[in-house]
Chain A
Amino acid sequence: MQKTNKIRVGTAAVLTVVLGVSSLIGLSSSANAAPVTINFWSRAAQADFIASVGAEFNKVNPNIQVKVTTIPDAEFVQKLSTASQSGSAPDVTSVDLILVPYFAKNGVFEDLTSYTNALSFKSKLSPAHMALGAYNKKQYALPFTAEASVLFWNKDLFKKAGLDPNKGPKTFAEIEAAAKAITALGGDYKGYYFSGACGGCNIFTFAPMMWASGGDILTAAGQPTYTDKNVAKALSFYNRLWSKGYVAKSAKTDNGASFAAPFAAGKTGMVGAGAFFVGSLKNNPEINYGVTPLPGATGGKGSFAGGDNIAILKGTKYPAEAKIFMDWALNAGQKFIATKAILPIRSDIAASDYVPQDPRYKVIADAMAYGKTPYSVAYTPLIADGQSPWVKMLATAIFDGKIAAAQAAAQKQALAIVKKQG
């Protein structure tokens, strides 16, 4: 038995070597004919459509085959960091735009400045994506998919609660009043929902309301300002929604596992979410909803201009092929993702291929234009970490009501992080 195993292993080893050598020979003798395989990474948040993007490209480019790998969002930074150091990085990656400064600072991406300047449609590219893709005046990543946050409201519940179903709330007070009326319907009905223990979710849906109220947690240069008094306004607004019982209790521990899902069940009046949610609500045709900008305390509007950038990894063996894929991703690829209910990053393609699909898409496309994205090389430690100053501030302020103390503690923790990460 053992002998046979040994023989089998031996045969396998010999076979592998032979095959390896023959494939090497194959490569060198017909370098142009054999299709080149490009490894392409994406975070799992794009799992719904990213495989079809790769398949579409492969269909029209038989000489270059893109192999798509999706990485869990929470592990993306560490996976790409370690892979880039061990030489096992992909050739091209889609990357949450907010993470680009960190990778660009550490020299993980190829410099695309001259490539960018040669693009005829450069002015049509999403400004937020371009800003986040730049580091020290060089362009390291280009826009790929767009995502903006807006407020979703359930028109049927508004009607049921005696509110005007066709008017989305425009201030904190209006949200609060609507949430109160809907919660008063009793039973499982709740006015509002958010994922209280999820840093990324709240930078997407809560921070815009903070920004629209004139507050921010970071300066343009990435210095923490967690103690801002307008940040306090937004925190105390969420604290009121929570302590008055307008939000389902599960919000407190929700690490993003539910995110906007309770809204899709039809018992939640309002939720902050993005373009992706319009796509997933197609599975719930019974939900009659509208979308409106996320408001500030006394009006105004805020949005998180999010989505992914696309970047070429330094050290790729196929820079030319990677650029061909990038070309496609910025042109035909944008028209393709628009058919998958994903907001394109080119204003011209968004207007021609995306907005006409659904009147609600216009609100989201507009939000993309006025949206904002924090620029920091320390996004992960400052915001995404489940114990980050951002998440801790939200927990203490919203659920325990200790707003000033929460802000002060977060500021202290954030200063230490910024000092370390430079």
Chain B
Amino acid sequence: MPMRRRTFLKGAATTVAAGTGLFPHVWVKNTGLAYAQGGEIKVGVLFSLTGTTAIIEESLHKATIMAIEEINAAGGINGMRIVPVEEDPASDPATFAEKARKLVLSDRCVSVFGSYTSASRKAVLPVFERQNNLYFYPTLYEGRECSKNVIYTGAVPNQQQDDFVPWLVEKFGKRWYLIGSNYIYPKEENNYCKKLLAELGAEVVAEEYVPLGHSEFSSVINKFRSEKPNVIFSTVVGDSVVALHRQYRAAGLDPETMPMASLTTSENEVAAMGGDAAAGHFTSAPYFMVWDSPENQRFVEAYRSRWGGDKVTHFVSEPSYFQVYLFKQAVQKLAASDITPPTIREAIKGEEMVAPQGRVRIEPENLHTWLWPKIGQCGSDGQFTILKQSETWQEPDPYKAYPNQRCTADGLKEV
């Protein structure tokens, strides 16, 4: 089915292009079918500024807007300005879908940057697939998705875990306690983690999920005490992360012998739990605020001078920033009359740039991003110390936990 729809759309696009060639003034002026006109390229910015996830999405919004401002200040894309159309989906998946429809259909944005949660991405997905538009998604997520209408610039499980898990097994031991919040993301991460642990001959002593927003971890901590795992692998999210770390510390457990290894604890959560509670624990991510590179220094300084000296950058705001530049690079390669979502998708395949975290690249097969995973240990000052960076950039494989499936340029393949 998708093949047939795509063929149809291609045909339609050709017809339109032919029409534009013959009667350019009719099409461009009256019906506004061209995406780039009057020296402007409209893009949607779809991050929640109100509601429960506004806390984090506000920083993604700021990083996106800053990148757009920078590009425009430097002369835009081939002399055209990027015009952001901002919408507030209020942390509600249904509103996400509604606003996405507005951005794509009535504002005629050529691409949209947005979403933090998987729930909101899943909600807008049908809109972008049906209209064959493009969605840029900056968050690390659980993988197992293969859409031709989403550019994924955050990490998938294999990128965060391939270095992290063997490193922890070697350094701390083979008894692992998996704890996560009770929804899809932690379960998929743990699926992949269990696969890696089995290959390393390590043992999962418990796998446990707490309700979203849970804040009473004393029973869980008693289980840590009685099971005595070597590593606590945590995919607990949101304010539960804060409660878990604080109660772990209050209970007097020792990160030296039983560290928590997390995929979700960023500078944001650490600021809320206090450096004392975070000290000694590990996080794996492609980006940390302290990462020492000229690009990151420039990014952090620009962010703070634009939005305030106390602001932090983190592993979701960084992709929010660089993905706008990747968009720019792709559009730059196109003639103004050729700028459409499908041509941008083709142009962005294989596109590379030096992001704050290092050189990144869009994988042509699955539209995910090659990234540089790092292992950080938190100090009592609330900042991470980077202990290890992967030797090479990591290929994104959203189906790595499922060896019989593979995401290719033609869609999901069973092998």
Say whether A associates with B.
no
